[in-house]
Every structure is written in C-alpha cells, then in structure tokens.
Amino acid sequence: MALSWIRESPPLWDEGKRRIVGGAPPGIFDRRYGELAEGELPPGDWWRVEDGGTTVGYGWLDVVWGDAEILLATASDARGRGVGTFILEQLDREAKQRGLNYLYNVVRPNHPDRARVSEWLQKRGFRPSEDGSLTRATTSSPGPEQGAR
C-alpha cells in the first residue's frame, strides 16, 4: 500500500467526501456534511488520501483558538490497513508546520463506536478532556508529558 496525501485547494464537496464523510452513520460527523451539495465549499482545510488512485480517506484540520481541530475519515473497505494512522501523522505534521501545539478531536456522545474510536486515539497519545474532546500535543510541542494541558 502506497498512500498519497493530497491537499485539496479548494476543497470542494465531491463524490468521495459524500461517500466517506457524508455517508457515515449518524453521530460520527456533523450532520451538515450529509447536506452539502456537490461543488459546495466545506469549512476547514481538507486532504485526500489515495491508494493507487483510489480515494481511501480524508483528513480535515481547522484552527480554533490556536489548536488544530482534526477529523479523520477512512473508507469502510480501507479500515484496519493503517490509513487512519497515516492521516493522523499527516495532520500532526500539518499542525506543526503552522506552529500549532495541540491537536484535538471530538468523538460525539452519539457516535455508534465511541468507545473504540476514543481508545484508538488514546493509544496514540490523546487524553480525554472535561469538555468531551480528546487532546494531544503535536510531536514537536515542548513539555514533559505529551498531551498535558
């Protein structure tokens, strides 16, 4: 598997995003993604992940109060093949390049697989916060404990 990280500029809503993000079960992503029309401009910065020309996932980053809110989306038939880890590593790199110190992700309370996704993120250095988000320092951030805040 040779994954490619492709910045979308502009990140127009298309069939791939509709299938992987907009078509996800309720509770995984903001419901507004399911309502976007082809060609609309979704918020934030988007990257497409391809494996041999086939779209297998997306990474999303939005700067909020100096931190990077991130979204990872993997095609159902590509799960368990390292695509999510690849996306997370690339988003970390993008955040570092912008001088951001923290990544965070919100696993919604109604996410159908909340415990597994939260555990996956925690195994990768994210720590739960009292507001329900999971936060981790970028790999270049200073501090004795990664994710401390």
pLDDT for 42 beyond 60: yes
Residue 30, classed as helix, strand or coil, is coil
Length of the chain counted residue by residue: 149
Q: What is the pTM for the complete model shown?
A: 0.88
Looking at residue 145, what is its pLDDT?
A: 42
- Give 88-103 pLDDT, tens digit per residue: 999 999 999 999 999 9
Q: Considering the chain, what percentage of its residues have pLDDT values greater than 90?
A: 75
Say how far apart CA 3 and CA 5 lie, in whole Å.
7
pLDDT for 68 beyond 90: yes
Say how far apart CA 32 and CA 36 lie, in whole Å.
7
In the predicted model, what is the mean pLDDT of residues 58-62? 97
Say how far apart CA 138 and CA 57 lie, in whole Å.
21
Looking at residue 149, what is its pLDDT?
A: 33
pLDDT band at residue 86, thresholds of 50, 70 and 90? very high
What domains can you pick out in the chain, each with its CATH number? Answer: 3-137 (3.40.630.30)
Average model confidence (pLDDT) across the chain: 90
Looking at residue 142, what is its pLDDT?
A: 44
pLDDT band at residue 62, thresholds of 50, 70 and 90? very high
